[in-house]
Amino acid sequence: MADEIDRTQEVSEVYESAMLKQRIKNATVLPEFRHTCEDCGRVIPARRRKANPSATRCIECQIIFESGGNT
């Protein structure tokens, strides 16, 4: 059981590290080119960016984020 928990923790840490690297990469891009979701990496649709210019997540990931879930 402990090995399974350790493996889950390891996978979680790798995922968190990858997401942090993506967020840092996105933060260094000029604002007009910040069109990718910080969680899934997909393009944030123009309609969403127009409705919410400060959006950093696509609508699907934002819903998950606000519900307290993980992407």
Pairwise CA distance, residues 31 & 17, whole Å = 23
Token duo for residue 2: 């402990």
Whether residue 71 lies inside any domain: the answer is no
**What is the rounded end-to-end Cα distance, in angstroms, of the chain?**
25
59 inside domain: yes
Structure-block tokens of residue 33: 């080119």
Which letter does DSSP use for residue 29 in this model? S
**54 assigned to some structural domain:** yes
What predicted TM-score, i.e. pTM, was given to this entire model?
Answer: 0.52
Domain extent, residue 27, equals 2-66
Number of domains within the chain: 1
pLDDT tens digits for range 7-64 = 888 988 988 888 888 777 766 665 555 788 988 989 999 999 899 988 989 999 999 9
Q: Using an 8 Å Cβ cutoff, are 66 and 60 in contact?
A: no
Residue 11 lies in a domain: yes
> Residue 19: inside a domain, yes or no?
yes
